Amino acid sequence: MAGSEKRRKRSNTEVCRGQSTEDTESRERTFYDTERASRRKSGGKPPHSKRARRRWGTMAKTIEELIPDYLRGLPVYVPGKPIEEVERELNIHAVKLASNENPLGPSPKAMEAARKVLGDSNRYPDGGTYYLRQKLAERRGVTPDELFVSLGSSELIDLASRVLLRQGLEGITSEGSYAPFSIAIRASGAKLVLVPQRHFAFDLQAIAKAITPPTRVIYLANPNNPTGTAFTGSEFREFVESVPDGVLVVLDEAYIHYATSVGLKDSVEVYQRRKNLLILRTFSKVYGLAGMRIGYAIGHPELLAAMNKLKTPFNTSGVAQAAALAALDDKEHVQRCIETNAAERKRLCEGLEKLGLQPVRSETNFVFIPVGPEAKAIGDDLLHLGVIVRPLGWMGFSEAIRISVGTAEENDKCLSALGQVLMKRAGKGELATR
């Protein structure tokens, strides 16, 4: 067995259609590599000798040993740089276009509703989120017991794996998708199966082919973060038909409001026919409530009941629930956010093209841009000019950056700074072919 093959077998990460481990040596480390690297450091051997293990049996001797292998190698999720940190460190005024937040802020009605209940903060909130589930049930055409309100959609991503996976089982997602999918699968002890993308998008047919008897869960984001691409309702329906009933498809629709080519209602219609679907939504994006940490899932009541057993009590605050309820009613604000984003995304992309770049067509509130091997350096240069964007090396794209769509003013600042950076680098002859 070749060395790289042996290493892949030992790791709980597998890349479908074999991206070789050797490839990872020559490029920037990604979050996929962390576990392999830590195993390689110890020569793939357990840290203690056989003799010591015989003497002490299976008893752990250090805190480190208490932590299972599959968790020791797990990377921490790296969020976009906080604006306060950049301003403090560089002593500049910065704009943050790194975390796909809503630049127009929350609905004024949501802020008012949140303010009204602040005074009740001495009491625990309604852990069953009765009113929000009632409203969402009406809105989405499902029953309240098919709704689970969560601490952002991040909690749902984690709970789905904790409920369905364990060592010996498999979870599938795509390379180049939202990192917490892979982290959730690996944190459960199950094997992570990564399917390569096609043209920066999910390859749904290849994902269907990667299903094996131990597969229990598949994570998809539509539209995808960080590439911004989306699959259509009919592509998704076809995919779901090829997934066995015993495999759960987790469909993360964090950016669905911004997608013009995907039917908003499509996934609930699919869910009504095939209950092995868990649809995730968040209030962090179009509703502008990222700081409130609230989201929800639509899914089979039995699955949601199991997730409910694992969630922390009172996962969402009363303030967040009140804000979310009011945000759902402020349709004008949602519409304004969608339209502003579409207009600014178009302007940002046109500006990027004028700079000689080729952004990938986006269905979201951010743009994925291949910029060449200097992606990280370009991100750093932009930071020093007060523009925070996201170099994507950590997410597996060492030659791309992601820019969130901001206000007109923020986008102008970003385009002007990027123009300066590219010009400076071209002058130095540093910029590789884009």
Q: How many residues bind ligand PLP (CB under 6 A)?
A: 13
Cβ-based nearer residue to ligand PLP, 216 or 285: 285
Tokens linked to 411? 């986008």
Tokens linked to 202? 């999910």
Cβ-based nearer residue to ligand PLP, 15 or 220: 220
The binder of ligand PLP chosen from 104, 117, 290, 377 (CB under 6 A)? 290
Q: How far is the CB of 111 from ligand PLP (least distance, A)?
A: 18
Own/partner long-range contacts of 158-162 (Cβ < 8 Å, ≥24 apart): 158/184, 158/187, 159/307, 159/310, 159/311, 160/184, 160/217, 160/219, 160/248, 160/250, 160/278, 160/307, 161/185, 161/187, 161/188, 161/190, 161/217, 162/187, 162/188, 162/310
Cβ-based nearer residue to ligand PLP, 363 or 381: 363
The binder of ligand PLP chosen from 221, 382, 388, 422 (CB under 6 A)? 221
Site for ligand PLP in 141-160 (CB under 6 A): 152-154
Burial 126-140 (b: 16+ CB within 10 A, else e): eeebeebbebbbeeb
Cβ-based nearer residue to ligand PLP, 155 or 170: 155
Question: Per-residue contact track with ligand PLP, 245 to 274, x per CB under 6 A?
Answer: -------x-x--------------------
- Distance CA(321)–CA(317), nearest Å, equals 6
Question: Per-residue contact track with ligand PLP, 165 to 204, x per CB under 6 A?
Answer: -------------x--------------------------
- Distance CA(105)–CA(45), nearest Å, equals 51
The binder of ligand PLP chosen from 295, 391, 393, 406 (CB under 6 A)? 295
Q: How far is the CB of 99 from ligand PLP (least distance, A)?
A: 6
The binder of ligand PLP chosen from 24, 100, 267, 317 (CB under 6 A)? 100
Q: How far is the CB of 40 from ligand PLP (least distance, A)?
A: 30
Q: What is the CA radius of gyration of the chain?
A: 23
Q: Which residues on adjacent β-strands are paired with residue 296? A: 149, 281
Amino acid (1-letter code) at residue 200: F
Own/partner long-range contacts of 19-27 (Cβ < 8 Å, ≥24 apart): 19/175, 19/196, 27/393, 27/398
Backbone torsions φ then ψ of 45, nearest 5 degrees: -100, 155
How many H helices and E strands in the chain?
A: 18, 13
- Distance CA(287)–CA(295), nearest Å, equals 10
Closest CA to 280 of 219, 235, 238: 219
Is position 218 an interface residue for ligand PLP (rule: CB under 6 A)? no
Cβ-based nearer residue to ligand PLP, 75 or 351: 75
Cβ-based nearer residue to ligand PLP, 110 or 421: 110
Please give the full DSSP string across 184-218, using - where no structure is assigned.
HHHHTTPEEEEE--BTTB--HHHHHHT--TTEEEE
Question: Per-residue contact track with ligand PLP, 269 to 288, x per CB under 6 A?
Answer: -------------x-x----
Q: Which single residue brings its beta carbon nearest to ligand PLP?
A: 152
Site for ligand PLP in 311-350 (CB under 6 A): none
Q: How far is the CB of 78 from ligand PLP (least distance, A)?
A: 12
Q: How far is the CB of 144 from ligand PLP (least distance, A)?
A: 20
Q: How far is the CB of 333 from ligand PLP (least distance, A)?
A: 18
Cβ-based nearer residue to ligand PLP, 276 or 284: 284
Closest CA to 130 of 346, 375, 268, 322: 322
Q: Residue numbers of the site for ligand PLP (CB under 6 A)?
A: 100, 152-154, 178, 221, 225, 252, 254, 282, 284, 290, 295
